Amino acid sequence: MRIATLCGMGFGTSMMLKLFIDEILTADGIKAQIIPWDLGSFKGQQVDIVVAPTDMGTHLKGYDGRVVLIKNLVDKEEIREKIIAAIRELQDT
């Protein structure tokens, strides 16, 4: 499974998200490759799940894959709930 975390430049917000998701998934025994990406170079990439800050949703309008939007990027519970739900959905399809 490949998960992309997105932000404008690929090493601030997206890196922070990657660090959190790494920790959450490791704790739950879920194996995934989590890649921080900047919006510009992400275009055209294939991943299973995209995770981005809520406010970035508008930049993802044309993207038809699975998108998880996070409102509070330091709220581990919000991140955990949303990412686990997306992974379950993915496994069910």
Three-state SS for 38-66 is EHHHHCCCCCCEEEEEHHHHHHHCCCCCE
Name the nearest CA neighbour of 17 among 84, 65, 75.
75
Q: Show Cβ contacts of residue 12 under 8 Å, excluding neighbours closer than 6 positions.
A: none
**Residue 74 in contact with another protein, rule: CB under 8 A:** yes
**Residue 73 in contact with another protein, rule: CB under 8 A:** yes
**Residue 7 in contact with another protein, rule: CB under 8 A:** yes
Q: Which of 25, 34, 50, 53 binds another protein (CB under 8 A)?
A: 53
**Residue 55 in contact with another protein, rule: CB under 8 A:** yes
18-37 residues in contact with another protein (CB under 8 A) are 19-20
Interface ranges with another protein (CB under 8 A): 7-13, 15-16, 19-20, 39, 52-56, 58-59, 71-76
